[in-house]
Amino acid sequence: MGEIFAAGVNFKTAPVEIREKLACKSKEIPPLLEKIKTGSGVEELCILSTCNRVEIYAFAHSEETIEVALRLFFLEKKLTPSSKYLFHHRGDHAVYHVFKVASSLDSMVVGEPQITAQFKESFELARKAGTTGKILNRLYEKALRASKRVRTETGISRNAVSVSYAAVELAKKIFGELSRARVLLIGAGEMGELAANYLKKLGCQIFITNRTYERALRLSQDLGGSALRFEQLEDYLENMDIVIVSTGASAFVLTHEMVRKAMERRGYEPMFIIDISVPRNVEPAAGKVDEVFLYDIDDLKEVVESNMKDRLKEAKRGEIILWDEVSKFMRWLDNLKIEPYILRLKENVRNLERENPVIRRLVFRALREMKMNPESAPIIFRIFGEEVKDVNGRKNIPYVYHRADGA
């Protein structure tokens, strides 16, 4: 019987220049799996490739087989294997690693959900390529179960840990219901666009303005919003509930005076201004206007850092859950090792069980003992083979029974 192995590189062990050379596109993976499985002799194989990790999960009869698989993989990528960058786990530690990856506890941003989808895709590719079987398919199912338990029984994904999403969470706290909020995105910076996209999914009405109107028009089409002329900013600012400023300007785009006039015209209904620009594009004094909530990138980073600390605390609870799931999987794997003994034992005593209830009870207890102590399975099986011969000779049964019990 073989073991589970996990090996490869990730953001903890190797720099990006190594990871990017090993990275695999989806279409590359199926032929690569077949080539490595055939060339190395591993029983089952899966490759997970993301921007942060390139890892092999395998079921094999020896560690040497895994080393061959890694050499073949590196050879395909025209690289020389280096223990300097490689990690290597086997047995329950390999299972724990796989579960930790699937549940995002091993991610660069703990609790982010993208890795679970990537994990599913990697196993789907391996399954279609025919390189997984009973063991890795079960590992995959239990990894997803472990991931679900971590998400439902801990708070690892409860708090925002990206600047863009932190802005959205703050907006929720200020306005509560956001489905009717009007959002203005000033500029076309990546973080601002991402925040606007999150708000769009919550039902907000999105407006985009940019110094280059054509850019605003293209972005409005991508976000499903409306483009506005930049030179008319002061005219429509009063109608906005949330303003996200994300430009490359070197001066203030929103001044204290612009915001003060807009608030007067809107009757001092709350306005949330998020300045994600560096340098800042909103005059700090604008935050002193009544009912204006102004946050810059440093404010948001403080929220993110606080939330990350909370997630890391929850991750410790998640690790306890994972080890619980690992122990269950390892018990299943151990019981798989004794499956041939169980099947042969049942076959050998099938007729005897029907004729003699004492033997039926004896078999039940023997099977239970095998499952509790898999290493005793060969001994128990041999005892049955040697001693249970005369079904009518009750004198042999207690002797067998006690030997099996204490084997």
Give the C-alpha distances (Å, rounded to integers) separating 201 from 188, 196, 353.
Answer: 18, 9, 64
Q: Which long-range contacts (C-beta less than 8 Å, at least 24 apart) are formed by 176-182?
A: 178/202, 178/203, 178/204, 179/203, 179/204, 180/204, 180/205, 181/205, 181/241, 181/242, 182/207, 182/239, 182/240, 182/241, 182/242
51 is catalytic: yes
CA distances from 80 to 69, 83, 86, 171, 183 (A): 13, 10, 11, 50, 52
β partners of residue 54 = 9, 49
At 6, the amino acid letter reads A
CA distance 69 to 59: 11
Q: Which is catalytic among the residues 24, 46, 51, 204?
A: 51
From the list 104, 114, 99, 92, the residue with the least C-alpha distance to 165 is 114
Write out 293-358 in H/E/C secondary structure: EEEEHHHHHHHHHHHHHHHHHHHHHHHHHHHHHHHHHHHHHHHHHCHHHHHHHHHHHHHHHHHCHH
**By C-alpha distance, which of 87, 72, 8 is closest to 41?**
72
Which single residue is written with the structure tokens 């049942």?
Answer: 346
Cα atoms in the 13 Å half-sphere on the side-chain side of 62: 6
Triad 80, 82, 85: Cα angle to 5°: 130
Strand order, beta sheet including 44-49: 44-49, 53-60, 3-10, 87-90
- Catalytic residue positions? 51
